[in-house]
């Protein structure tokens, strides 16, 4: 998008028409100023997405990582693409040592399930875990998830190399996008946000928050809060 051709955000925000007849002048002015900022952020996110798409070819996946799908079939990373040339993966914290999966991963996957059928029209979308697929699927059925495809890592090389499993056995979530380059598979994008990059009072999070929960709470007066996290049950 050529930003030179875009009208100033304040000019566009000034076209706002209130939907509430009893809106005060103070509220109208503050909301119009906020709208201008929202337009600027939208434009920045558009530039961010364009910059992401312009990334040069990423690291070549050289190891023959193995996975098991829901049919018990063992296959390599390239086999997870199906007929697509792009593969979106989410590694969730549900290893065999866990009695129950990570609540934060569960929250994200709940939202992802709602969009799973649509996402899979455009790209392959796989949820990867260290637990057997049957165990992952059992939890998915418990939650009512119908549109997520689960695979199990065969061994821990994939998780360790991706940096989502450490020497103490602790797991971390991972969002990775792969792309087929002929017969090769390359990393296109990997979600990265070091803990040191978190701003004061915030958890480390990416520039685009893909979890619906936090985006919804950001629209509320109290926001995300500072010490609240989703649970598996309430």
**pLDDT tens column, 44-64:** 999 999 999 999 999 999 999
Q: Are residues 129 and 81 in the same domain?
A: yes
Residue 3 has pLDDT above 60, yes or no: no
Task: Note whether 64 and 39 are same-domain residues.
Answer: no
* Domain boundary residue, one of 159, 176, 191: 191
- H-assigned helices in 96-206: 103-122, 133-143, 157-162
**Residue 2 in this model has a pLDDT that exceeds 80:** no
Question: Considering the domain boundaries, does residue 121 fall inside one?
Answer: yes
Looking at residues 152-159, what average pLDDT do you find?
Answer: 98
Identify whether 200 is part of a domain: no
- Domain check: are 38 and 74 in the same one? no
Q: Please state, rounded to an integer, the average pLDDT across all residues of the chain.
A: 95
Question: Is 20 in the same domain as 96?
Answer: no
Does residue 93 share a domain with residue 68? yes
Torsion sign, CA atoms 160, 134, 114, 233: negative
Which of the listed residues 191, 213, 229 is the one where a domain comes to its end? 191
Asked whether residue 208 is assigned to any structural domain, the reply reads no
Q: Is residue 122 part of a domain?
A: yes
Is 161 within a domain? Answer: yes
Which percentage of the chain shows pLDDT scores above 90? 87
Expressed as residue numbers, the domain containing 101 is 60-191
216 occurs within a structural domain = no
User: Looking at the domain assignment, is residue 229 inside a domain?
Assistant: no
* Better pLDDT: 202 or 57: 57
| Element housing 187 (H / E) | strand 184-190
Whether 119 and 25 share a structural domain: no
Beta bridge partners of 30: none
Concatenated DSSP letters of 26-91: HHHHHHHHHHHHHHHHHHHHHHHHHHHHTPPP--B--S--EEE-TTS-EEEGGGGGTT-SEEEEEE
What is residue 216's three-state secondary structure? Answer: helix
Same domain, 17 and 122: no
Is residue 50 located within the same domain as residue 70?
A: no
Q: How many domains does one find in the chain? A: 2
**Position 198 in a domain:** no
The helix/strand/coil state of 35 is helix
Q: What is the CATH number of the domain that holds 137?
A: 3.40.30.10
One domain for residues 84 and 174: yes
Q: Are residues 103 and 144 in the same domain?
A: yes
One domain, residues 46 and 64? no
84 & 182 share domain: yes
Lowest mean pLDDT among 14-23, 75-84, 130-139: 14-23
pTM: 0.92
pLDDT exceeds cutoff 90 at 41: yes
């Amino acid at each position: 998008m050529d930003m030179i051709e875009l009208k100033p955000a304040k000019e566009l925000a000034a076209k706002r028409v209130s939907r509430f007849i009893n809106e005060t002048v103070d509220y109208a002015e503050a909301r119009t100023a906020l709208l201008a900022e929202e337009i600027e952020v939208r434009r920045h996110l558009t530039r961010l997405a364009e910059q992401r798409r312009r990334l040069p070819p990423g690291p070549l996946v050289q190891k023959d990582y193995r996975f098991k799908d829901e049919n018990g079939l063992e296959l390599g990373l390239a086999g997870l693409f199906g007929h697509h040339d792009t593969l979106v993966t989410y590694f969730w914290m549900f290893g065999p040592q866990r009695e129950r999966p990570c609540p934060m991963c569960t929250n994200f996957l709940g939202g992802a399930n709602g969009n799973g059928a649509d996402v899979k029209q455009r790209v392959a979308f796989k949820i990867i875990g260290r637990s057997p697929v049957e165990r992952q699927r059992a939890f998915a059925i418990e939650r009512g998830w119908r549109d997520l495809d689960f695979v199990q890592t065969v061994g821990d090389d994939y998780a360790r190399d991706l940096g989502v499993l450490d020497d103490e056995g602790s797991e971390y979530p991972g969002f990775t996008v792969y792309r087929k380059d002929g017969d090769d598979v390359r990393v296109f994008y990997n979600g990265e946000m070091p803990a040191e990059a978190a701003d004061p009072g915030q958890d480390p999070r990416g520039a685009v928050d893909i979890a619906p929960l936090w985006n919804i709470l950001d629209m509320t007066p109290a926001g995300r809060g500072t010490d609240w996290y989703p649970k598996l049950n309430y």
